[in-house]
């Protein structure tokens, strides 16, 4: 297993600068990470720096709250694709899930997925705000809507991923979807633990530390 190929090298802070995003992309090239993950305003810049490489560009949509309108998310997604995004990491409408407005949640996911054939959609369900039953339901809705990944966290909630989250999500989606663990993953041991539990991708801002730690 090549750990670098599981990592989405991430910079999503509100104060992220152009130079920091360029550095992120250069680090991803050096370590051959699977992708960088950036806010949508930096899609074009990431595309320029990563041109000609195998590193994918993952772009956040409706981030970090998920509470903007479905139309706003679609507009942001369309622009991200125009600017060069390969993958989208979209936050669900958590309030709608809590309201049991499951059709709204599912339709929003499917509408984003159907915008661009062949592009990867990861659905962030923000597990820190959900009980186990809601994690199951959110994972089921993402699966039914045709998303490619269900993802634990934005990294901006009250906590990031947990082993319990991954186990619940894996039991729910099985081999029908992939899982991205993100939020609070700052060392090699934690990243490997999540992969062994069933995560197919790791979202982290500590990719360099993880890769340079002694196994």
Name residue, tokens 């679609």: 74
Q: What local confidence, expressed as pLDDT, does residue 1 receive? A: 78
- pLDDT band of 2, cuts 50, 70, 90: very high
* Domain range annotation of the chain: 3-212
Residue of 113, 137, 151, 170 marked active site: 151
Q: Does residue 83 carry a catalytic annotation?
A: no
Return the structure tokens found at 119.
Answer: 């592009």
Distance, in Å, from the CA atom of 142 to the CA atom of 122, rounded to the nearest integer, reads 9
Residue range 61-96, pLDDT digits in tens: 999 999 999 999 999 999 999 999 999 999 999 999
The phi and psi torsions of 201 (rounded to 5 degrees) equal -145, 145
Residue range 146-203, pLDDT digits in tens: 999 999 999 999 999 999 999 999 999 999 999 999 999 999 999 999 999 999 999 9
Please list the residues that pair with 149 across neighbouring strands: 122, 178
Residue of 86, 89, 148, 165 marked active site: 89
Q: Does residue 89 carry a catalytic annotation?
A: yes
For helices 132-144 and 102-113, the axis angle rounded to 10 degrees is 40
Pair 163, 196: CB distance under 8 Å = no
Q: What local confidence, expressed as pLDDT, does residue 214 receive? A: 78
pLDDT at 56 over 90: yes
Classify domain 3-212 at the CATH class level: alpha beta
Q: Which run of H or of E encompasses 176?
A: none
Record the pTM.
0.97
């Amino acid at each position: 297993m090549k750990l670098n190929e599981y990592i989405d090298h991430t910079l999503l802070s509100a104060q992220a600068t152009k130079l920091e995003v360029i550095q992120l992309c250069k680090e991803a090239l050096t370590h051959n990470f699977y992708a960088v993950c950036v806010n949508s305003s930096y899609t074009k810049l990431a595309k320029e720096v990563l041109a000609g490489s195998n590193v994918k560009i993952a772009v956040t949509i409706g981030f970090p709250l998920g509470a903007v309108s479905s139309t706003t998310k679609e507009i942001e997604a369309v622009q991200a694709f125009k600017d060069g995004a390969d993958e989208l990491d979209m936050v669900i409408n958590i309030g709608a899930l809590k309201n049991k407005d499951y059709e709204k949640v599912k339709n929003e996911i499917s509408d984003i997925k159907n915008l661009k054939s062949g592009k990867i959609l990861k659905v962030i369900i923000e597990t820190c705000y959900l009980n186990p039953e809601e994690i199951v339901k959110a994972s089921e809705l993402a699966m039914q809507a045709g998303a490619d990944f269900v993802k634990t966290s934005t990294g901006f909630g009250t906590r990031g991923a947990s082993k319990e989250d991954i186990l619940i999500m894996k039991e729910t989606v099985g081999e029908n979807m992939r899982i991205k663990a993100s939020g609070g993953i700052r060392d090699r041991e934690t990243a490997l633990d999540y992969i062994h539990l069933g995560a197919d991708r790791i979202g982290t801002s500590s990719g360099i530390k993880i890769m340079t730690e002694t196994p």
